[in-house]
Amino acid sequence: MDRRAFLGVVTGGLLAATLAVEAQQSRNLPVVGVPHTGPPGESPTGLPGKKDPLPLALREFGYAEGTSIHIEYRSSAGHDERFPALVSELTGL
């Protein structure tokens, strides 16, 4: 293989790798913040055994969690004085 062919192959490989990396970059998803007063891990509905209806409702409008929207949950764990800080934290996202 002559020098020009070698440089052409190497250059083409580097350009292809750069394009592949750019294609795989993640985009910024919209974030929906959900503050609640219950303990962490508990459903925001506050009802035992009940799932959060928000992801299902968003799915009806064409949003899918993780692909077109991201949902962030924050809990004050029963400490009502922390609630304003949680809201401002979620607003910052």
Strands (E), the chain: 31-36, 70-75
Higher local confidence (pLDDT), 11 or 20? 11
Which residue in 80, 76, 91 sits closest to 42, CA to CA?
A: 76
Higher pLDDT, 3 or 59: 59
pLDDT > 80? residue 68: yes
- Residue 35, pLDDT > 70, answer yes
- Asked if residues 83 and 42 have their Cβ atoms less than 8 Å apart, the reply is no
Residue holding tokens 């692909």?
67
